[in-house]
Amino acid sequence: FRWGAQTETTRVMLAASFTDQGKVFAGDRKISQFPIAGVSDGSGGSSATPQGRFIFFDPRVGEVFSITLNDGVLNDGGANKPVFDPNDLANSDFHPFTTADRFNFQPFNLLLTPNKRVNIFGKAEVDLADNITFRGVAAYNNRRSVNQAAPVPLFLGSDAGSGFFLDNVFIPADHPFNPFGIDLNGGGDNPNLILLARRPIEAGPRIFRQNVDTWLLSGTVEGEAAVAERQVYWDVNVTWAQNNAVQRFFNNINARRLAIALGPVDRCLAEPGCVPFNIFGGQGPDGKGSITQEMLDYVRFTQQDTSRQEFFDVTVNVSGDAIDLPAGPLGYAFGYEHRKETGFFQPDAAVIAGETADVPASPTAGGFN
């Protein structure tokens, strides 16, 4: 939409637009359906898989294992609890983890993110006097967008690098879903849990919804005047802009709660809503995973982050010719500018506390003149 009008002293223009962009999944295009284009052997995939990856030291045999559940094996903590024999891995429900076991996250990811954008723009010019003109600009933009990524990968253990709660996790041997028969300890002086990686596809993909507002107001008064029979040109400009963003991140995992649900059962049951979490599970032949809705209700949360950036600027400029010289007039120009910028980023309280299983963040705020 565009509209304009004018009179002898005034000119006005208004414009508006609406854009509705659809989505395209990375898996829908051949070039992006695998982490490395055209390579389908697992290269570039994630070690956080639906069947899990388990790297730990077993003191019973003095050996470090790097294993994963066999395809189709489901750990329900009962009759279907998988078999692990450190002396006979070939006849266990696990096998050594290889590149072929890596998780292809691309089909979950968006290549083109859906968004809806509203843009409104206005401009006006008014001749205040013969040699004085006012120009004003106003603009507004709103973006509502959605991004999607594969379910949040869970990395636990001494080499995880996931923060305090998951790096130092302790899973007792008697945890109802622990198939290995030994304590798994990621912290302390002698940790034996090096890395436990699991992709909880039961939780659903990571969904990021953004609502972003951007405002702009700008005004200029400019003119010219005769001073000592010479023309002096001047202008005064004021600009203000602000950007406000809110992002909601769905299907994130609370690391502190996950550590409690993986720890001693009596400690878990003392927490309202806590049930032991089955991170050792996997996906059965029917495609259903081992993580139940009740487990997810305790550890899953929606993260909300907010941010704002604000800009204010004032400039004054004066120019003209001072004197005439043989080669031409000697010109001058001088001006003044005051500029102020401020901003802040405020992550979710759980993220600030280090309780997220996803990317950590800290609040920040600042500004300058």
- Give the least confident one: 127-131, 218-222, 242-246: 127-131
Sign of CA pseudo-dihedral 139, 144, 149, 152 = positive
Report whether 101 contacts 49 (CB < 8 A): yes
The pairing of strands 94-96 and 63-69 is: antiparallel
Q: What is the pLDDT of residues 8-34, one digit of tens each?
A: 999 999 999 999 999 999 999 999 999
Burial category of 11 from C-beta neighbours within 10 Å (exposed 0-12, middle 13-18, buried 19 and up): middle
- Give the least confident one: 120-129, 282-291, 318-327: 282-291
Contacts of 352 (CB under 8 A, 6+ apart): 361, 362, 363
Quote the pLDDT of residue 37. Answer: 93
Q: Please, which pLDDT band fits residue 148 given cuts at 50, 70 and 90? A: very high
Q: What is the pLDDT of residues 65-114, one digit of tens each?
A: 999 999 988 887 777 789 999 999 999 999 999 999 999 999 999 999 99
Residue 29 sits at φ, ψ, to 5 deg, of -120, 135
Instruction: State both tokens at 41.
Output: 């052997």
pTM above 0.85, yes or no: yes
Which 3 state secondary structure label does DSSP give 269? helix
Residue 270 sits at φ, ψ, to 5 deg, of -80, -15
Query: Alpha-carbon distance 235 to 212, whole Å?
Result: 33
- Determine how many CB atoms are found less than 10 A away from the CB of residue 249: 24
Alpha-carbon distances, residue 236 vs 178, 179, 258 (angstroms): 72, 74, 58
The secondary structure of 229-269 as a DSSP string is TEEEEEEEEEEEEEEEEEEEEEEEEBHHHHHHHHS-HHHHH
Q: Please, which pLDDT band fits residue 188 given cuts at 50, 70 and 90? A: confident
Instruction: State both tokens at 364.
Output: 């920040």
- Domain that residue 303 falls in: 2-368
Residue 318 has pLDDT above 90, yes or no: yes
- Determine how many CB atoms are found less than 10 A away from the CB of residue 158: 20
Please state the rounded mean pLDDT for residues 214-222.
98
Radius of gyration of the chain (CA): 31
**How many domains does one find in the chain?**
1
